Structure 1
């Protein structure tokens, strides 16, 4: 039975099959532009700290309120 909280169930299931955790697969499947080719988003280095902070909230990065812009970029890239 599909989970109503998952926005892209097909992508979520595919990520689980290749070994992603449920949490990480859900985060990726719920990102609006995940899986789209073309790289429309600007690089994290060009984002404002406020934009980075909002993205960190979306993906659930702990300790984000204490991070500098550089630390937010690193955390988002390694997530």
Structure 2
């Protein structure tokens, strides 16, 4: 079954669909695909990947990051659930 079109706000629908297929959230896929359309894929590709993996962060650091992006219920989450929530946002 074909998916619904992501809408006119997504500038590179092929990139958006590939990211969604890889498990990215709608918000994240749209953000990346639009950045690639505006700045070029090589610029966007060079920008990421400088942070330590979430598994190496402390729970306090994970909660702070979750707070910055507005994840609800973060104060009750254990480390594994915080990591999952951050990756799925």
What is the TM-score normalised by the length of structure 1? 0.56
Aligned pair in 2 of structure 1 residues 38, 61: CA closer, same or farther (>3 Å)? closer
| Rg (Cα) greater in structure | 2
**RMSD across aligned C-alpha pairs, in angstroms?**
2.6
Cα distance in 2 between the residues matched to 1:18 and 1:38: 20
Cross-structure match for 2:81: 71
Cα distance in 2 between the residues matched to 1:63 and 1:38: 27
Query: Which structure: greater helix fraction?
Result: 2
Aligned residues: 53
Residue among 10, 27, 37 paired with 1:18: 10
Q: Does residue 57 of structure 2 align to residue 47 of structure 1?
A: yes
Aligned pair in 2 of structure 1 residues 38, 77: CA closer, same or farther (>3 Å)? closer
Structure possessing the higher relative contact order (Cα contacts under 8 Å, 6 or more residues apart): 2
What is the TM-score normalised by the length of structure 2? 0.50
> What runs of 5+ residues in structure 2 fail to find an aligned partner?
1-7, 12-25, 32-43
SS, match of residue 55 in structure 2? helix
